Amino acid sequence: MGRDVDRASFSREDRVRYRQKVRRCLDVFALMLDDFGFDADRPMTGLEIELNLVDQAAEPAMRNEEILAAIADPLFQTELGQFNLELNANPRLISGNGFADYERDLRASLNRANERAARSDTRIVLVGILPTLNERHLVADNLSTNERYRVLNDQIVGARGEDIELDIRGVERLRTHNDSIAPEAACTSLQFHLQVAPDSFADYWNASQAIAAAQVAVGANSPFLYGRQLWAETRIALFEQATDTRPDELKAQGVRPRVWFGERWITSIFDLFEENVRYFPPLLPICESEDPVEVLHAGGVPELAELRLHNGTVYRWNRPVYDIMNGRPHLRVENRVLPAGPTVVDMLANAAFYFGLVRGMAEADRPIWSQLTFSSAEENFHAAARRGMDAILHWPQLGEVPVTTLVLDTLLPLAAAGLDGFGVEAADRDRLLGIIEQRCRTGRNGAVWQTATVWAAERHLGLDRRAALHHMLQRYAELQYTNEPVHTWPLD
């Protein structure tokens, strides 16, 4: 939900008008899917990276407006918390040297931003959850000052009608309450966008759902929250709970959560937008002046602003996107399951694994979703978030299998074939997928390195948990800018 909001409250009439407009947009979208010319000739990709700001003591730095002004680059934007920024890479093809171009541009942007931030004694850290966050940091006063975040907070908390409870049971347990959505700001993610044609969207979305568990297991980088070691990828549980608009009674009735894995394989992108409209009441009932029917009949491209805004407040782990670029509409899968970090090259290895694997799965002769139940895909996803590299997944024809074995023996060859299908240079393919391979062979991703480093600081340096987390994050921030993959980082 990236648009600005200039209203703090909404009337009953606003909500009725918005619901009607969303349904009108949905009808127009259905017509467009039947006979409109979507841009799908050359599938573009995109990356979004959410960032954390820390001071010299490795504490969260509530300075995003100041740092954003110093960076002065439109690719950087605010995010939910004052200690967050977001970097949106320019979209591009990954054929040829596309990944090398991404790496060069991302490193240049982050290095320049970090230099500007250093003038304010601030550093940028790429990590799924900032390990030094605690309850006093994640409060409503530390939400970014952009009004859209305040309005979204008020609408979610108002819809719930009571404090938001966090109850995460992992290696240790965290149970606490909050009167705002501020804990969501702790979830800093890496998001991939892949442009797809309407007739193949369902295959790519289904494939994205099926492989989400493997992505999370090998890419986990969020083991700590509020000083406790929880899941390997605690960000999954935190995001699901921190924006939950349902009190316990509605959960018991089976009302769907707004952070949602989903409940079925689909046959069209329309299924997802229709579910959004059918299941989820509007949070931000803001109507634009466009009549999408008139625009379509006049031969134009409807913005479908209300449908897109509503879609932006349903937080699917793989989200459908309708967008317009250079006057032509297109569709994208937005893959949202991964954390930021640890390094640029680690994130691009995750990108190569996703883009290659999703294509390999989507174009397979026998679709994985014809063999794997949707409930098994969801169970795999949460098992991977809890245990990371140690997860055991259910997979067709293999039964219960360690995720590292699944990746090494089955998924990496498919990912390599998929990257070949995109026309990725062989050297880039082998280098990036080789990082995923080595994570599996060493058993080390970002979450493993973080927990091992904290354990060593507690046992060998005699530090308490708080000091050990600060020690680890200082070391993490240093190693991050070497751009050496995390499986090679020393444990000292």
- For the segment 251-257, the average pLDDT, to the nearest whole number, is 93
Amino acid 8: pLDDT: 59
User: Over pLDDT 70: what percentage of the chain?
Assistant: 98
**Mean pLDDT on 234-258:** 93
Q: How far apart are CA 287 and CA 325, in angstroms?
A: 22
> Looking at per-residue confidence, does 254 or 492 come out higher?
254
Considering the chain, what is the average pLDDT of its residues? 95
pLDDT band at 253; cut points 50, 70, 90: very high
139-148 mean pLDDT:
91
More confidently predicted of 194 and 43: 194
Which amino acid type is present at position 320? P
Degrees to nearest 5, angle at CA 125 with 473 and 192: 130
**pLDDT at residue 161 in the model:** 87
Determine the Cα–Cα distance for residues 340 and 353; give it in Å rounded to an integer: 15
The domain segmentation of the chain, as residue ranges, is 36-261+317-488
Q: What is the CA radius of gyration of the chain?
A: 22
pTM of the model: 0.96
Q: Residue 72 pLDDT more than 60?
A: yes
Backbone angles phi, psi at 289, to 5 degrees: -80, -20
**C-alpha 375, offset from chain centre:** 21
Quick one: CATH architecture of 36-261+317-488? 2-Layer Sandwich (3.30)
- Render pLDDT for 186-242 as a digit per residue (tens, 0 to 9): 999 999 999 999 999 999 999 999 999 999 999 999 999 999 999 999 999 999 999
**Whose CA is closest to 323, among 309, 337, 340, 336?**
309
Distance between CA atoms of residues 329 and 303, nearest Å: 9
Name the residue among 144, 157, 143, 129 with its Cα closest to residue 226.
129
Which own/partner contact pairs does 299-303 have at CB distance under 8 Å and 24+ positions apart?
301/327, 301/328, 301/329, 302/25, 302/28, 302/32
End-to-end CA distance of the chain: 41
The CA angle 449-49-185, to the nearest 5 degrees, is: 80
Beta strands 315-316 and 259-260 are parallel
Give 365's contacts (C-beta < 8 A, 6+ positions apart): none
Using the 8-state DSSP alphabet, how is residue 407 labeled? I
Does the structure show a pLDDT above 60 at 7? no
Query: Residue range 48-66: average pLDDT?
Result: 97
Rounded Cα–Cα distance for residues 148 and 154 (Å): 10
CB burial of 93-112 (b: ≥16 within 10 Å; e: otherwise) equals bbbeebbbbbbebbeebbee
Helix (H) or strand (E) holding 338: strand 328-339
| pLDDT band for position 36 (cuts 50, 70, 90) | confident
| Rounded-to-5 percentages of helix, strand, coil across the chain | 50, 20, 35
pLDDT at 1 over 50: no
Decide: helix, strand or coil at residue 432: helix
According to the model, what pLDDT value does residue 148 have?
A: 85
Whose tokens are 């004052």? That residue is: 82
Task: List the one residue out of 338, 340, 343, 339 whose CA is nearest residue 478.
Answer: 343
- Comparing 343 with 285, the larger pLDDT belongs to 343
